[in-house]
Each structure stands twice: as C-alpha cells, then as structure tokens.
Amino acid sequence: MQLFDSLFGRREQRWFENGAAGARHGKFQAHALSDGRKIPVLGTTVSREGVAFVSPRRLVETELQFTFILRERAIPSHVHVDQSEAMQAPERVVHRYFCTFTAIAADDWDAVVRYVENKPEPKKADFAPKTDDEFRSLPATIQNAVVDQLVRAGRLNAPAPGTVPLIRMIAGRVHELGQGRTAQDVLIHSRVKMDDGGTRAYDTRFRVFSSQRIELIA
C-alpha cells in the first residue's frame, strides 16, 4: 500500500522515505517466494503500509509472496517491490527491498498495527471487531458513498440494516483547493467474509472533497 499522491501530480513521500517515520525498526525472521523457491530473508522495518528486508540474493520479481514473523505470529502476505538496492555487507553484497502490502488478512494487518504502535496483544475476548472512530467522524453522506462503492466493488460485505460496516480509515492531510474548498485523501481498509469462513482484506484510496463528493483513486 503506497502513500497518497498529492493534488496537481506532486507525489508525497512513500512510507519508507524520510527515515521511515511512523514505522518500527528491528530484526525479524521472514521469507520470500522467488522463482518457486523459499528464500530466507532478514526483516528490518515494519509499517502499517509495508515492510523492508534484506535478502542474500537478488529477487527478480516485483510482486512477491512474503511471510514474516512478529511476536511469534507467522503473517503471510503479498507485497509489491517499490524500491531495491544492492549494499555491501561485511562479507558480501546483499540486496535491500522496500515493499508495500498488496494483500494481507485483516486479522494479520491488525497484528501489524499493534506491533508498529508497540501495543500489547489483546486477550481473546478483545478480538471482537470494532468500527474505526476516524471513519465515523466523516459526514454521513461521505460514509454512505464510501460504503456503497466498496460494496459494489466486492471489497466489503453489505452491512445488515442497523449495523455499521467493519472498516478502518487512515486519513491523509487536508489540501487547500482555493475559494474555501478542500480535499483529503483517505485510505480505507475493508474486509470481505469468504464462503469458506475466511476473510480477504482490501485497501482502497478515496479523495474526499469539502463539497461532500468522493472520488475513487485506486
């Protein structure tokens, strides 16, 4: 998942730029699937949006199956390689990768957020899903429009009457458009229950305008 492009085509910094602000640094075990082989790698950084790791060999793919371990929890995911570079280690050249998540289970993503924020793992009774208060702060018109688009796209189960959708929101900064108008980019994390009882997570970017109009970005 990359940070939002700003208005007028100016790209904002990606999660790993500027010292990976908001990420948690530290070594963790992981492996990537490359050329049909499981390649052990050393994780170095985790954020809400992605991971960084060092591999002893060059990985040719730009899309990878990536499994990493946080707090003894194995987390499978798919990632997109945003940037890679060769670097000289004491004994040989290794390859460093900066990646964003393209697919990760909802519960696993929740565990990533807790790890990044250094929050303890909840007790089993605390695992009940909760609605994101940040999303609820949006005007009802915007909330409904976002939910409708996610449901139509198959990225959210239609909420039952009288219930709220189980989604989370990461808000970007507010942009001034002039003449009192503003726009804000938001990243919506939603999940869909599958027929086999599992869940699939999605991340969708919207641009929210002060006129209470929304625009799907990606």
Tens of pLDDT, residue by residue over 52-94, are 999 999 998 999 999 999 998 999 988 999 999 998 878 889 9
Average pLDDT of 192-202? 78
Average pLDDT of 140-152? 88
Judged against a pLDDT cut of 60, whether residue 128 lies above it is answered with: no
- The pLDDT assigned to 47 comes to 92
With CA atoms as reference, report the closest residue to 169 among 154, 151, 185: 185
- The pLDDT assigned to 8 comes to 44
136's CB contacts (< 8 A; 6+ apart) are 143, 164
How far is Cα 171 from Cα 28, in angstroms, rounded to an integer? 28
Judged against a pLDDT cut of 90, whether residue 108 lies above it is answered with: no
Q: Which residue has the higher pLDDT, 190 or 129?
A: 190
Euclidean distance between the first and final Cα of the chain, in Å? 10
Q: Which residue has the higher pLDDT, 7 or 135?
A: 135
The pLDDT-based confidence of 187 (bands split at 50, 70, 90) is confident
Judged against a pLDDT cut of 60, whether residue 148 lies above it is answered with: yes
With CA atoms as reference, report the closest residue to 187 among 173, 212, 174, 169: 169
- The pLDDT assigned to 189 comes to 87
Judged against a pLDDT cut of 80, whether residue 22 lies above it is answered with: no
Most confidently modeled range among 4-13, 60-69, 87-96, 140-149: 60-69
- The pLDDT assigned to 157 comes to 87
- The pLDDT assigned to 106 comes to 79
Give the neighbor-by-neighbor strand order of the sheet with 168-178: 168-178, 181-193, 199-209, 214-216
The radius of gyration computed from the CA coordinates of the chain, to the nearest angstrom, equals 19
The token pair at 9 is 């085509």
